[in-house]
């Protein structure tokens, strides 16, 4: 396996794992209708970080960086939205 192919495989695996890592949290919140244990600060920082990665990807024209971080932003943004919806008492 060439170095470029190995790098592509590792990069693709990293992107897919990063993107799908948010799915269990989203599913748990949705099923239980409870996000009280989710840290709002953590997800605000996470969403901000992914936004910065997207901006960086645009600046250097790195489409894999843009695509993977956009997907991560959407997934982490979904957790954040669910936190706002189901994180308050008496939701």
The full set of domains in the chain, from first to last, is 3-86 (1.20.1280.290)
Beta carbons within 8 Å of 18's beta carbon, 6+ residues apart: 68, 72
pLDDT value for 89: 60
Show pLDDT as tens, one digit a residue, over the chain (91 residues).
899 999 999 999 999 999 999 999 999 999 999 999 999 999 999 999 999 999 999 999 999 999 999 999 999 999 999 999 998 764 4
**CA-CA distance, 46 to 76, in Å (whole number)?**
7
DSSP string, 40-90: HHHHHHHHHHHHHHHHHHHHHT-HHHHHHHHHHHHHHHHHHHHHHHHSSTT
What pTM was computed for the model? 0.88
């Amino acid at each position: 396996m060439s170095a470029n192919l190995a790098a592509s495989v590792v990069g693709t695996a990293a992107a897919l794992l990063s993107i799908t890592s948010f799915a269990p949290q989203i599913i748990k919140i949705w099923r239980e209708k409870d996000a009280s244990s989710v840290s709002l600060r953590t997800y605000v920082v996470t969403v901000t970080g992914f936004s910065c990665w997207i901006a960086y990807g645009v600046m250097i024209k790195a489409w894999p960086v843009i695509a993977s971080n956009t997907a991560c932003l959407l997934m982490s943004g979904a957790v954040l939205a669910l936190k706002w919806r189901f994180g308050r008492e008496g939701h």
